[in-house]
Amino acid sequence: MFIINACVFLVILLLVPALNSKNYSTSVSIKQGTLEGSVRKTWGGRTIFAFQGIPYAEPPIGNRRFQPPLPAQPWEGVLNATKSHPFCPQSDVFRNDLQVYGKENCLFLNVYAPNVTDEQYPLPVIVFIHGGGFISDSGNPELYGPDILLDKDLVLVTVNYRLGALGFLSLEDDILPGNNGLKDQNIALLWVRDNIESFGGDPGKITIFGNSAGGASVYYHILSPLSRGLFHATISSSGIATSPWALAKPGEGRAAARKLAKSLNCSASSSEEIVKCLQGVDAHDIVRLVQNLMEFHYECSIPHRPVIEPKNPGAFISDHPIDIIKSGEFSQVPYMLGLTANDGALKSAAIYANHSLVERLNNEFEDIVPIMLFYGDQNFKQRITAIIRKFYFNDRSIGNDTKSELTDVLTDGYFYYPQRATSEIHAKYSSQPVYFYLFGYKGTLRASAYFGDPTYDYGVCHCDDLNYILNHQYMSSYRPTEADLKMNNLMTTLLYNFAKTGKPTPEITSVLKTQWKALKDNEFRYYSIIGPDDVTMRDRLFEDRYNFWKKLDIYPKLQSEGEPISNVI
């Protein structure tokens, strides 16, 4: 962060040329008022302008808690936009840090713009939506900084949105329909459309890009009538709305909300009374209590996630994602999606960092796996669990020699199967191209160490692809290799091309030597990124595992026709 006092600021203005004749600089006027930002440098040494902590919605506090967001009001004077503002209340369950952080007044976004010549404006825009399972993380630069991506000629926006029960509590009725975290993102997109030109961005070339829960959020915006027309291309990294952790089944949201209300002494007969009571509870107490409802690791801290809302004019989504796709009533824009080769290490590394969790998983496999994979309500869950144990573990005990197998189960169930199955359905009903990728580059940084276990090579973990797009505070001692830097250039070039043209490889270059071909009807193919000089188009990806999940009747909307495997074996 750069906090610039008056003297230093004047010196910087003398040293750094104005953006161009349109006078883009650290002082920008938008519809709400005037902002004073700061100057920072990218990894490539480029000067960029940073505007942090811009309010895009009214504070969701008091009687605004659990309500849809309202656009932020104008301010008087000059707003200090030189530092991060609070992120939304949360605890970092993915790293087993159960302390509660954050403030409810958290609906801020950040804008980063490069200093380029007049002829290059307006620039394509990427709006990044952070992940964190709808329960943690933020868009602040400590976690998602601009210093890699902004070596390209584009404007970057990162967004904070409400999390956990504060963002996704739902009684599945008209009083508390839910999805307020997604509605926050929607209001942020409206803000971007209306204001981004003031930062040199092109409101006609907005790409939304999300990782994990952010990737699922991107897909929800594709589906939602509220977000139609607010973007022109989309990217989902390791997450989609049809992932089991990204969509509550009918009744689950209501049950979770009533359970939370009861635990906070807010049980009541009417939804109005429940909401009013919960609005009076300390926000940190709500976050803290959700932790106490965990059954195994952090599964049951995600009971408050997106839901299918009752049909009304303000609903964000009111049908199942697959039904919406098959109806054709969704945003017809280019779509890029993919995953890392070992995405499931997000969770397996955390489990293996705690020996007691490994023992418990082995001893209670039949009870825990249905919770982990979100099929605990299935009639044949014991049979399904036995089939999974046979296929992945060959009925072996869960121990130190099954780290890769557990990672594969979680990779397939959480990420690969729902993403591939949905992408094939999406491509069939979309008039725009769908591009699929697998990121398999083993670079210097490994997120599996961040998630808990630095002692084992889990492969290419969840979020490892982001290390070559957005920088974060854990890179302070990072010394990238030449291959890492080339991967930075490859990944950011793909994103820049896609944001500018809707095609990741509009032409073959020395950086992008292989054309990325879109999916076709009945023909799955993907861009395999193994190294900066090892990028190919392929058509077979974990085929035995994919075919196994196609017949495993856990996700009925994605399941292929034919008898489910749980009835056959």
Looking at the structure, do residues 343 and 440 belong to the same domain, yes or no? yes
- Using CA atoms, how far apart are residues 268 and 543, in angstroms rounded to an integer? 50
pLDDT tens, residue by residue, 491-502: 999 999 999 999
Residue corresponding to tokens 């602040």: 140
**Domain range for residue 159?**
6-333
124 in a structural domain: yes
What does the DSSP assignment read for 308-344? PPPSSTT-S--S-HHHHHHHT-S----EEEEEETBTT
Q: Please say which residue of 314, 333, 352 terminates a domain.
A: 333
The reported pLDDT for the residue numbered 563 is: 46
Asked if 165 and 180 count as a contact pair (C-beta separation under 8 A), the reply is: no
Confidence band, pLDDT 50/70/90 cuts, at residue 9: very low
Known catalytic residue at 212? yes
Residue 467 in any domain: the answer is yes
What percent of the chain has pLDDT above 90?
80
Q: Please name which of 216, 241, 555, 239 lies closest in space to residue 377, comparing C-alpha atoms.
A: 555
Question: Given pLDDT bands bounded at 50, 70 and 90, which one contains residue 11?
Answer: very low
Whether 218 is in a domain gets the answer: yes
Same domain, 251 and 384: no
Quote the pLDDT of residue 301.
54
For residue 156, give the nearest of 103, 192, 191 by alpha carbon.
192
State the pLDDT at residue 452. 80
Q: What is the pLDDT of residue 560?
A: 59
Say if residue 178 is in the same domain as residue 43.
yes
pLDDT at 171: 98
pLDDT at 458: 95
What was the pLDDT predicted at 119?
Answer: 75
Query: What per-residue confidence (pLDDT) applies to 521?
Result: 78
This prediction has a pTM of: 0.93
Q: What are 448-491's pLDDT values in tens digits?
A: 888 888 889 999 999 999 999 999 988 878 899 999 999 999 99
Question: Looking at 25, 138, 170, 212, which residue is catalytic?
Answer: 212
Q: State percent of the chain over pLDDT 70.
A: 92
Domain boundary among 333, 349, 380: 333
Asked whether the bond before 370 is cis by omega within 30 degrees of 0, the reply is no
* Burial readout 54-80 (b: 16 or more C-beta within 10 A, e: otherwise): bbbbbbbeeeebbebbeebeeeeeebe
Q: Answer whether residue 4 shows pLDDT above 80.
A: no
- 403 backbone dihedrals φ, ψ, rounded to 5°: -60, -45
pLDDT of res. 553: 76
- Tell me, what's the pLDDT at 92? 79
Does 396 lie in the same domain as 495? Answer: yes
CA angle 354, 360, 363 (to 5 degrees): 145
**The domain spanning residue 199 has which CATH number?**
3.40.50.1820
Are 458 and 387 found together in one domain? yes
Tens-digit pLDDT profile for residues 115-127: 877 778 899 999 9
Cβ-in-10-Å burial (0-12, 13-18, 19+) of 288 comes to middle
Q: Is 434 in the same domain as 388?
A: yes
Q: How far apart are CA 11 and CA 270, in angstroms?
A: 61
Instruction: Using pLDDT thresholds of 50, 70 and 90, give the confidence band for residue 392.
Output: very high
Amino acid symbol at 108: F
**Pairing state of beta strands 108-114 and 47-55?**
antiparallel
pLDDT of residue 10: 35
User: Residue 15: pLDDT band by 50, 70, 90 thresholds?
Assistant: very low
Q: What is the pLDDT of residue 425?
A: 96
Mean predicted confidence (pLDDT) in 356-366: 94
Is the pLDDT assigned to residue 268 strictly greater than 90?
A: no
* pLDDT reported for residue 424: 96
What is the tens place of the pLDDT at every residue in 401-428?
999 999 999 999 999 999 999 999 999 9
How many separate domains does the chain show?
A: 2
Task: List, in order, residues 6 or more apart from 569 with CB less than 8 Å away.
Answer: 383, 387
Q: What is the pLDDT of residue 6?
A: 38
Residue 5: its pLDDT value, please? 39
Whether 372 and 508 map to the same domain: the answer is: yes
- Please tell me whether residues 499 and 522 are part of one structural domain: yes
Q: What is the mean pLDDT of residues 433-458?
A: 91
**Each residue of 287-332: pLDDT tens digit?**
998 776 666 665 545 789 999 999 998 999 999 999 999 999 999 9
467 and 447 Cβ atoms separated by less than 8 Å:
yes
pLDDT of residue 297: 60
Q: What is the pLDDT at residue 72?
A: 98
Tell me if 283 is assigned to some domain: yes
User: What digits encode the pLDDT tens for the residues 115-169?
Assistant: 877 778 899 999 999 999 999 999 999 999 999 999 999 999 999 999 999 999 9
Residue 363 clears pLDDT 50, i.e. is over it: yes
Of the candidates 49, 1, 54, the one whose C-alpha atom is nearest the C-alpha of residue 25 is 49
Last residue of a domain, one of 285, 314, 333: 333
Is residue 1, in this structure, part of any structural domain at all? Answer: no
Q: Considering only CA atoms, which of 180, 172, 151, 141 is closest in space to residue 60?
A: 180
549 phi/psi in degrees, rounded to 5: -70, -25
pLDDT in tens, 66-116: 999 999 999 999 999 999 999 999 987 776 677 899 999 999 999 999 987
Residue 23 has pLDDT above 70, yes or no: no
For residues 50 and 131, membership in a common domain is answered with yes
Q: What pLDDT is recorded for position 18?
A: 36
CB atoms within 10 A of CB 11: 10
Does a structural domain hold residue 255?
Answer: yes
Residue 351 pLDDT greater than 50, yes or no: yes
